[in-house]
Structure 1
């Protein structure tokens, strides 16, 4: 009898989850802006994966005799100061920007979730110590702090990932802490404690799965911020280093040719803008889909 009741309860839970997922997908499908953002993200991902097959030229080879050529049928986006095809470099730079953005957010999200969950669940001195450290990091502008870390760590794509990850950890820690505080006194958490579940099991099996919506939304929006900071570091010459075709470094190397060859900075700037806009549109739509009250 008990087994039948448990089986019916499991089936009921699965049906509820399926209905919620279906509702979320329907809400996303009805949001045109979110769909546009998702389509652009999918296209950028395909470009990053298939870039070497669709690039018209080698992005790292050029002819000085063809430098600063305006957009034409041979070079749709023109050429840079070294005669390299700008379209090929933008395509190659897509995988770099997405890699840094996604990887840095994944690291910051993982670390921030752990610290935030511990602070919110245990409270007291542990909460105070963790959150004061996070407040200290948040007291500095994120880009300025990332520049400081890059100065200490050195230049390069891996260093940029680490620097951007560190400066964004507090954002996720604060969100997770607030979510944990709001649910840790709920009945299902108390029931898990009563049947002998340990703290780690309660946090990661019972609490976090029920508070993932705002975390997922923030991570989606955080990718756009990470891409912007990557471009800013590259523009300042501290992030991804030449000859890698990173959009920010392309802007930095081409800013001296703004008046006589504006296409050098126009197309990389447009790539950054389009990518950031896509993640912001999709993140906003995802937020509305996961929170129907706010959508109404």
Structure 2
């Protein structure tokens, strides 16, 4: 009976999601980006990290459809290769932040009192600093590189998930089904992870989807400042950073990576907004 109800709710959610044209467009773009990230190496016309200085700063042409950069590397190949890096950082940073934030928020909301105060005050301290400034500080301490960027971006976004989970748990932890679980002797861990969290999954999923776009933007910002993915790896933000010097002579070096970032961020935002509406039971009804 419970499985049939869950299947029915999923069908309703999916039906509402595909009725949202903007969300469908975002979902299609995301699927295409994932396919590019997986199979991109088979469609790259050139090695993204190897160029010829004699071919530098060439405008878009038949040989190089998006032109070449200051080192003669094919921009189209580098943008394709950068898709893999940007999605990897975005998804892994959100996964790490979501895992830690969910546990901290669940513990704070369920137990309350001193535990809640200690955890949430620590979260407030992190939120008191601008996220990008704090990420830069962590990068300065940890060093440069893609793995360091994932850690830095995830740490600064943990409080967002912790606050969402805590607020959701506070609203339902005194519900009848939670009280019944306590009466029959379920442990606190079982109540939190088996009975409470499944009922607050909707806002978490929506925030995680939107959080990927934010993480991709943060990755691009760190790369632009020279703190993220290091050369010769192709990352959209670092492509912007290295190409800004040649903007007036060869604007395509900056324009095309910027378009890639914009399209990706908009796609995740459109899909996240549609998912939020589809998961809202009031709108479904």
TM-score range, shorter chain: over 0.9
Q: How does 1:25-174 map to 2 (within 5 A)?
A: 25-174=14-163
CA deviation vs aligned residue, 1:55-88 (integer Å, no higher than 9, x gap): 0100011111110000011101000000000000
Cα separation, 2, equivalents of 1:295 and 1:188: 23
Cα separation, 2, equivalents of 1:294 and 1:26: 12
Q: How large is the Cα RMSD of the aligned pairs?
A: 0.8
**Structure 1 counterpart SS, 2:226:** coil
Residue 17 (structure 1) aligned with residue 6 (structure 2): yes
Cα separation, 2, equivalents of 1:99 and 1:163: 14
Of 213, 219, 222 in structure 2, the residue corresponding to residue 224 of structure 1 is: 213
Of 249, 259, 264 in structure 2, the residue corresponding to residue 275 of structure 1 is: 264
Unaligned stretches of 5+ residues in structure 1: 1-11
Cα separation, 1, equivalents of 2:98 and 2:48: 33
Cα separation, 2, equivalents of 1:295 and 1:146: 38
1:187 paired residue number: 176
1:295 Cα offset (Å):
7.1
Cα separation, 2, equivalents of 1:292 and 1:272: 32
Aligned length: 285
Cα separation, 1, equivalents of 2:18 and 2:240: 35
> What TM-score do the two structures reach when normalised by structure 1?
0.95
Cα separation, 2, equivalents of 1:258 and 1:164: 28
Residue 237 (structure 1) aligned with residue 230 (structure 2): no
Cα separation, 2, equivalents of 1:246 and 1:274: 15
Cα separation, 1, equivalents of 2:4 and 2:44: 46
1:15 Cα offset (Å):
1.2
Cα separation, 2, equivalents of 1:292 and 1:79: 50
Unaligned stretches of 5+ residues in structure 2: none
Cα separation, 1, equivalents of 2:53 and 2:229: 23
Greater Rg over alpha carbons, structure: 1
- The answer to whether the 8 A contact 2:153-2:218 is kept is yes
- The answer to whether the 8 A contact 2:12-2:284 is kept is no
Cα separation, 1, equivalents of 2:3 and 2:29: 32
Of 196, 199, 222 in structure 2, the residue corresponding to residue 210 of structure 1 is: 199
Cα separation, 1, equivalents of 2:186 and 2:72: 64
Cα separation, 1, equivalents of 2:165 and 2:156: 16
> What TM-score do the two structures reach when normalised by structure 2?
0.99
1:292 Cα offset (Å):
4.2
Cα separation, 2, equivalents of 1:141 and 1:281: 25
Task: Please list every run of at least 4 consecutive aligned residues from structure 1 whose deviation after the TM superposition is greater than 6 angstroms.
Answer: none
